[in-house]
Amino acid sequence: MTVTDYFSPIILAHQRLNDWHSIVELLPSLKKFKIHNEEKLNKLENESVQNLLSVIAENNELEKLKDVWQKLPSYLRKKESNQLHFIKLLVLFKQMDEADRLIKPFFKKNASDKVVIANVVELFGEINLTNSSQQFSFLENWYTQSNQAPNEIYLSLGKIAFNAELWGKARFYLERSLQVSPSAETYLIMANTLKKLNDHELEGECFKQGLEFVVENK
């Protein structure tokens, strides 16, 4: 019996049981013995780690989530996809300061990776800090200095500006977002921004356009 013959049925059984913790424990051995090719192993690593963390989050166990994350092998914690998934779960638990601390370095080290930075920018817009004005300044400064800012930048800037009660800035960036990548969420935030600006006629029109967008994109 080869090493692959030994491990493959075990992995399959754990997957069927959604026993991601057991698979994560096997990952170092799979890597050591080169059970799968690099692409397949990478997919299994991402699936196992992220599903494990998601199950813990679904059970509303924040401290366990943090503990399991810290106990993962360092090479798994260093993977960007796993880091971003962990940050996303922290946001769901409203651990905004910690999420902010962990996501900030991505803006420097991934500035040239379009896919990663698009995910980072979108996730950053979900982080609702107490000091939203400072958060907005950070992202706007990055945007003005970046040559490859993704389209997601406009919605994130608009959302953060709205949280910071910077209504004019929110309107400006949300308008840009609707031009390049309209969404129901953007229409809703834009309508609420127009309400704050007492532009009730455009507010109603924006709500109407948002509803039409939802119907057309069902």
Q: Of 37, 67, 93, which residue constitutes the final position of a domain?
A: 93
Give the structural domain span for 62: 1-93
Count the alpha carbons within 13 Å of 41 in the hemisphere toward its beta carbon. Answer: 17
**Per-residue pLDDT reduced to its tens digit, 132-166:** 999 999 999 999 998 778 999 999 999 999 999 99
Count CB atoms within 10 A of the CB of residue 205. Answer: 13
pTM listed for this prediction: 0.91
CATH number for the domain harbouring residue 145: 1.25.40.10
Q: Number of structural domains, the chain?
A: 2
Question: Which pair of tokens denotes residue 198?
Answer: 């007492």
Q: Are residues 216 and 202 in the same domain?
A: yes
Residue ranges in the chain assigned as alpha helix (H): 3-16, 20-33, 38-58, 62-71, 74-77, 80-92, 96-103, 106-109, 114-124, 132-145, 152-163, 167-180, 184-196, 200-216
Question: For a pLDDT cut of 70, what percent of the chain falls above it?
Answer: 95
Mean pLDDT of the chain: 92
Q: Are residues 71 and 134 in the same domain?
A: no
Q: Amino acid letter at 59?
A: N
Q: Are residues 38 and 114 in the same domain?
A: no
Residue 63 vs residue 34, higher pLDDT: 63
